[in-house]
């Protein structure tokens, strides 16, 4: 059965003459673009693009296919966009981009306020591009952008801290922190089992840089769980430590599911912003989102 996304991908590759540019335009990976084109080629029974040193060029059959589908595909996309616009106006459908690591602590706080939300998971720069290109209404980011076409307001601050499972005996660590024995603190931490949401451990490296003045920690993560909130849930049922956002750990502290090991004064806070395009019809919604998230970050 033919997949409409194959034709969307074909249209983008044909227009850009490049798989990488098409992937960027569609916000999918380049391998996904290659796979969809390969599946479409298998479906139609013809090769559609020839590789060149820089990009691709369409075959004669691709030119024919483009002429056959482009008008129908444009009409379908216009209908789809029109439907989304009507749904937005009728049901207050809003699209919000956010890092998956902040979804449970920040994004979920909006569910009781709005009837319809379409969430997307991306990181800062991708979120900005989506808002700037009007493919997202709002984004929650931890980086400030300065452009003419977007509005950005600070919501509050979050901070990275070290937490541990409740079964860890942390008396020695607390004493070393009190004595400012950073070598002893680091040695104690290196002896623990580590949980992380990213194998590259950028969050842990950042902590080590600010607190221990070292570019690379000597520890390695024992377990990689690619969502910080899920990682905290798993950590609470096992034994280990992790660097996490305090906003994510807040619920686990309230439920007495993990313990705070170290909230270092050397670790700076990170600002959280609400980002949107300049649209008159979302001004009131912007204020509502801002109000709800400020309460969470107080």
Write the pLDDT tens digit of every residue in 14-63. 999 999 999 988 888 888 899 999 988 888 888 999 988 888 999 999 89
Question: Tokens standing for 150?
Answer: 């977007």
Tally of domains within the chain: 3
Write the pLDDT tens digit of every residue in 137-183. 999 999 999 888 899 999 999 999 999 999 999 999 999 999 999 99
Q: What is the pLDDT of residue 213?
A: 93
Does one domain contain both 56 and 45?
Answer: yes
Tell me which of 40, 69, 89 is where a domain ends: 89
Q: Using CA of residue 259, residue 261, residue 263, residue 268, what is the dihedral sign?
A: negative
Mean pLDDT over the full length of the chain: 89
Tell me which of 89, 114, 139 is where a domain ends: 89
Q: Looking at the predicted structure, is the pLDDT value of residue 70 above 70?
A: yes
Q: Looking at the predicted structure, is the pLDDT value of residue 92 above 70?
A: no
More confident residue, 148 or 255: 255
More confident residue, 53 or 107: 107
Does one domain contain both 78 and 31?
Answer: yes
Q: Looking at the predicted structure, is the pLDDT value of residue 74 above 90?
A: no
Q: Using CA of residue 23, residue 29, residue 31, residue 32, what is the dihedral sign?
A: negative
H helices of the chain, in order, are: 4-16, 19-26, 30-44, 60-91, 124-132, 171-178, 182-190, 202-212, 228-236, 246-254, 283-296
Q: Looking at the predicted structure, is the pLDDT value of residue 87 above 70?
A: no
Q: Looking at the predicted structure, is the pLDDT value of residue 291 above 90?
A: yes
Write the pLDDT tens digit of every residue in 200-245. 899 999 999 999 999 889 888 999 999 999 999 999 999 999 999 9
Do residues 293 and 247 make contact, with C-beta atoms less than 8 angstroms apart? no
Q: What is the pLDDT of residue 268?
A: 94
Q: What is the pLDDT of residue 90?
A: 46
Instruction: Look up the CATH number of the domain holding residue 139.
Output: 3.40.190.10
Does one domain contain both 229 and 172?
Answer: yes
Q: What is the pLDDT of residue 7?
A: 84
Range of the domain at 135: 92-157+270-296
Does one domain contain both 182 and 243?
Answer: yes
Q: What is the pLDDT of residue 230?
A: 94
Instruction: Look up the CATH number of the domain holding residue 82.
Output: 1.10.10.10
* DSSP conformation letters of 67-79: HHHHHHHHHHHHH
Q: What is the pLDDT of residue 298?
A: 83
pTM of this structure: 0.67
Q: Looking at the predicted structure, is the pLDDT value of residue 285 above 80?
A: yes
Tell me which of 65, 89, 113 is where a domain ends: 89
Q: What is the DSSP letter of 238?
A: S
């Amino acid at each position: 059965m033919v997949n409409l996304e194959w034709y969307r991908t074909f249209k983008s590759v044909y227009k850009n003459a490049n798989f990488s540019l098409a992937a960027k335009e569609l916000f999918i990976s380049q391998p996904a673009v290659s796979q969809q084109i390969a599946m479409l080629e298998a479906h139609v029974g013809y090769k559609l693009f020839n590789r060149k040193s820089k990009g691709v060029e369409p075959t004669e059959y691709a030119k024919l296919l483009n002429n056959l589908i482009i008008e129908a595909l444009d009409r379908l996309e216009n209908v789809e966009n029109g439907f989304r616009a009507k749904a937005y106006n009728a049901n207050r459908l809003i699209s919000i981009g956010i890092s998956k690591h902040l979804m449970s602590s920040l994004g979920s706080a909006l569910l009781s306020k709005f009837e319809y939300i379409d969430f997307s998971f991306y990181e800062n720069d991708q979120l900005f591009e989506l808002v700037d290109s009007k493919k997202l209404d709002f984004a929650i980011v931890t980086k400030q952008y300065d452009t003419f076409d977007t509005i950005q307001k600070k919501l509050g601050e979050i901070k990275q801290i070290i937490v541990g499972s409740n079964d860890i005996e942390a008396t020695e660590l607390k004493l070393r922190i009190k004595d400012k024995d950073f070598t002893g603190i680091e040695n104690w931490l290196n002896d623990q089992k580590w949980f992380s949401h990213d194998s590259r451990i950028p969050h842990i490296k950042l902590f080590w840089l600010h607190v221990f003045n070292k570019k690379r920690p000597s520890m390695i993560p024992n377990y990689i769980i690619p969502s910080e909130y899920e990682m905290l849930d798993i950590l609470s049922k096992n034994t280990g430590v992790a660097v996490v956002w305090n906003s994510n750990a807040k619920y686990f502290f309230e439920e007495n599911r993990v313990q705070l090991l170290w909230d270092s004064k050397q670790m700076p806070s990170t600002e959280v912003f609400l980002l949107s395009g300049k649209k008159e019809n979302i001004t009131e919604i912007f204020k509502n989102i801002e109000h709800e998230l400020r309460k969470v970050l107080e």
